[in-house]
Amino acid sequence: KTKNHSYDIQIGSGLHKQLVQSLRELGITQQQKLMLISDSHVGPLYAGRIQDQLCTAGYEVGTCFVPAGEASKSILQYERVVGACLKFGLDRKSVILALGGGVVGDLAGFVAASFMRGIPFIQLPTTLLAHDSAVGGKVGINHAMGKNLIGAFHQPLRVIFDVDTLSTLPLRQLRSGFAELIKEALIWDVSFVGWLENHQNALLGRDPSLLCEAIYRGCRIKATIVEQDEKENGIRAILNYGHTIGHAIEACAGYKHYTHGECVAIGMVSAVYLGQWVLKTPPAVIDKTIRLIESFGLPTQFSLPCSDDELINLIKHDKKSTSGRLSFILPKQLGHVEMVEHVQEALIVQALQVIRGG
């Protein structure tokens, strides 16, 4: 529930097969054109079946696939997708379906937010990580100067997470998704931290009911926070835990070396050290955080030819920092974080040293 809009998040098996029913429930008729946006990995796996089903039910469905990967959250791909929408004859009543991970969700969502000043869209997440990106209405693309610098708030009509799609997700991408779940646990819910520790093996083994529960708990935390502060004037900022340094690492080498989740994991490690120096966070919190991250096979250090100056510059451009101030979300206890407005540059350099691998 946000101020102007409420929507359902569906999580389960076989949900793609029930899409026609979902469209009916949402009042979307065959007079409304649909555009299915996906990427070059997910499109060939899942778009055909969805398109067939919708066409059989009398819907007109166009498709547009972008190259898989973070580089597609770009002005170039944005323009291409908008072009495909125009060519297919989408109008202000049309609906966009975003089928893929966070990249497709953010890009297609931004197309929906801006096409003819905004048309509705549905999120069909296919990565574990996208339980986070599909909820909350932040959509956008990157600029050479940093991540997500061009974007909007545009809530979807519905989020439909068919967990069957996770069976084809590469293990590295599955692990990456746990970074955002670990983040949600660490900022909000200490019992979820314990739950993740206890079920780590079965989760990485893709136990379907545990994955559903993890996604449910993650979405529940995200929704609870976004309901309180949709436009990030306050509490929503805690969802950026691990992201300030994480985004800088992601952007500094052109988004090629590490996944978003891996960068968030490394970013959280730097944040626990900053927490110890700035907020006197107990050392046990550092140990537990690092152990949890490692137990899901995520990195705690990075190794890239990026100087401290380059990284600090990217951190200053991160839109979370206001007028060049270096603000951070830092842990106080497990399950509890705080916003710290001015972190000294020297401490950030020290934190970067801790997370630099050989």
Helix or strand (DSSP H, E) at 107: helix 102-114
Place of tokens 């839109």: 319
Interface of this chain with ligand NAD, residues 194 to 223, rule: CB under 6 A: none
Answer yes or no whether residue 74 interacts with ligand NAD by CB under 6 A.
no
Give the end-to-end CA distance of the chain in Å, rounded to a whole number.
46
Residue number with CB closer to ligand NAD (110 or 273): 110
Q: Which of 157, 166, 80 shows the shortest CA–CA distance to 125?
A: 166
**CA–CA gap between residue 102 and residue 263 (Å, rounded):** 14
Among 51, 74, 94, 173, binds ligand NAD (CB under 6 A): 173
CA distance 36 to 96: 6
What is the x/- site pattern for ligand NAD, positions 33-72, by CB under 6 A? ------x-xx--x----------------------xxx--
- Residues with Cβ within 8 Å of 291's Cβ and at least 6 positions away in sequence, in order, are none
Kindly indicate which of the ranges 50-58, 80-88, 172-180, 294-302 contains the residues binding ligand NAD, using the contact rule CB under 6 A: 172-180
Candidate ranges 58-66, 168-176, 186-194, 342-350; the one touching ligand NAD (CB under 6 A): 168-176
* DSSP one-letter string for 148-209: EEEEEE---SEEEEEGGGGGGS-HHHHHHHHHHHHHHHHHH-HHHHHHHHHHHHHHHTT-HH
Place of tokens 């083994």: 205
Question: Could you say which of 132, 184, 232, 262 contacts ligand NAD (CB under 6 A)?
Answer: 132
d(CA 55, CA 269): 48
Q: Is 189 in the site for ligand NAD (CB under 6 A)?
A: no
Q: What's the closest the beta carbon of residue 261 comes to ligand NAD, in angstroms? A: 6
Which residues carry out catalysis? 117, 138, 180, 222, 232, 236, 240, 243, 247, 260
Task: Kindly state whether residue 266 participates in binding ligand NAD, applying the rule CB under 6 A.
Answer: no
Q: How far is the CB of 170 from ligand NAD (least distance, A)?
A: 6
Per the annotation, does 127 bind a ligand? yes
- What residue ranges bind ligand NAD (CB under 6 A)? 39, 41-42, 45, 68-70, 73, 100-104, 106, 126-127, 129-130, 132-133, 136, 138, 147-148, 165, 168-169, 173, 176, 180, 259-261
